[in-house]
Amino acid sequence: MKIERLKAISLEIPFKTNFKHASADRAKTASIWIEACSNHGALIGYGEGCPREYVTGENLKSALDWINRHTSSIVKDITNLKSLKAWVVKQEQVIDKDPAAWCAIELALLDLLGKSEGLSLESLLALPPMPPILQYSAVLGNNDLAIFSKQVLKYVSVGFRDFKIKLSGDLEIDLRKIACLLDTGEAVKIRGDANNLWHKPSDVIDYIDQLGQPFWAIEEPLVSRDFAGLSKVASRTGIKIILDESFTCAQDIRDIRDMTDHFILNFRVSKLGGLIRSIALLENARSLGLPLIIGAHVGETSVLSRAGITLASVAGNATVAMEGAFGTHLLEHDVCEPPVMFGNGGMLRPKEWHFQNAAGNGLEIKGQNDPTYK
């Protein structure tokens, strides 16, 4: 396969509702969108990455610059799956610095390779079949209480029982939000995401105590990569710590080898630098007995949701939760029809979707000149 053209643009799709947490407030997507062409434009592969300053230090401009710098090497060196995998190994440190930029390109190339060989992503990568049912969590941003309680009621009414809430750090507000979930009268399961709110383990321990220990796990309560501090929080509270901003590359797993009992890893294909790297990290995590979450950045389109499903095929029963697949529950419009999105109760059954056995990512992407996604 010869890559004839790599086109990179930024993708800005408005949200139906703002999404806010301790590190960001978003009203639209902030993604890199790639189209990779071969066969004189007859085949097009599509990819997406979500550069996030507070996760990988990237932004839209730095990601587009990275792509410009590396396009000629990518086009020259990558002609098949073997050379794609070799590029990932050879450029490990380069990708470590700009994983979302590479993710966008890699997903486009995997889609293109799958289409040129008539293979689905899973067949191309020789992965197990997709799980029959995927169960996604409801993720609630740090919106004001009126919006929050409306969202809770809506989620509960359509069968959601698994929630992740973004913490504000304001005790009274967080207490009222937790009460709002508990007052539904349903057996809800709650985890909190603090997006690096605190500096001292003792502050986190006190806060969780004051909240009445409502969580089965808490995500990123301390500054990123304070593994010793996080481990202390886990020991004192008996609550597992989810690593998200603190987990972006292989070194992070090496750094927690001796304290795996305390942690859950949040796998997001974009921040980990694409599917090939995510799969290798996932196999490493599973060999250490680490539980994992298949996560998502806010505002991912169906392309990254589809990649998350590929990752879920490898994760098997090590998965303790899934996030993403919001599609047009959050976006004003998605890049394909139908969008990859969960239904009632957060369920998605891959066998009901055309993409399961179709070539490449199997998504019906809207026309490349369609202004609705540009």
Reduced 3-state DSSP string for 282-351? HHHHHHCCCCEEECCCCCCCHHHHHHHHHHHHHHHHHEEEECCCCHHHCECCCCECCCCCCCHHHEECHH
323 near Mg ion, judged by CB under 5 A: no
User: Least separation, in Å, of the C-beta of 59 and Mg ion?
Assistant: 18
DSSP tag of 80: S
244 near Mg ion, judged by CB under 5 A: yes
Give CA–CA dist 219/132, Å, rounded: 28
User: Least separation, in Å, of the C-beta of 336 and Mg ion?
Assistant: 25
Span of 165-173, 177-185, 240-248, 298-306 interacting with Mg ion by CB under 5 A: 240-248
Q: 24 or 358: whose CB is closer to Mg ion? A: 24
Cβ burial of 146 (10 Å; 0-12, 13-18, 19+) is exposed
User: Least separation, in Å, of the C-beta of 240 and Mg ion?
Assistant: 14
Peptide bond connecting 14 to the previous residue in cis, omega within 30 degrees of 0: no
Cβ burial of 32 (10 Å; 0-12, 13-18, 19+) is buried
Q: 48 or 219: whose CB is closer to Mg ion? A: 219
Residue with tokens 């220990």: 213
Q: 31 or 195: whose CB is closer to Mg ion? A: 195
174 near Mg ion, judged by CB under 5 A: no
Give CA–CA dist 18/6, Å, rounded: 32
Give CA–CA dist 101/63, Å, rounded: 5
Number of residues engaging Mg ion in binding (CB under 5 A): 3
Pick one of 106, 111, 122, 193: the residue that binds Mg ion (CB under 5 A).
193
User: Least separation, in Å, of the C-beta of 230 and Mg ion?
Assistant: 14
Span of 12-20, 67-75, 93-101, 192-200 interacting with Mg ion by CB under 5 A: 192-200
236 near 215, Cβ under 8 Å?
no
User: Least separation, in Å, of the C-beta of 127 and Mg ion?
Assistant: 25
Q: 265 or 312: whose CB is closer to Mg ion? A: 265
3-class DSSP state for residue 150?
helix
Site string for Mg ion, 331-370 (x = CB under 5 A): ----------------------------------------
Please identify the residue of the shown chain whose CB is closest to the bound Mg ion: 244
Span of 41-49, 126-134, 239-247, 272-280 interacting with Mg ion by CB under 5 A: 239-247
Q: 35 or 193: whose CB is closer to Mg ion? A: 193
3-class DSSP state for residue 218?
strand
Where helices occur in 212-291 by DSSP H, the ranges are 227-237, 250-255, 275-287
Give the footprint of Mg ion on this chain (CB under 5 A).
193, 219, 244
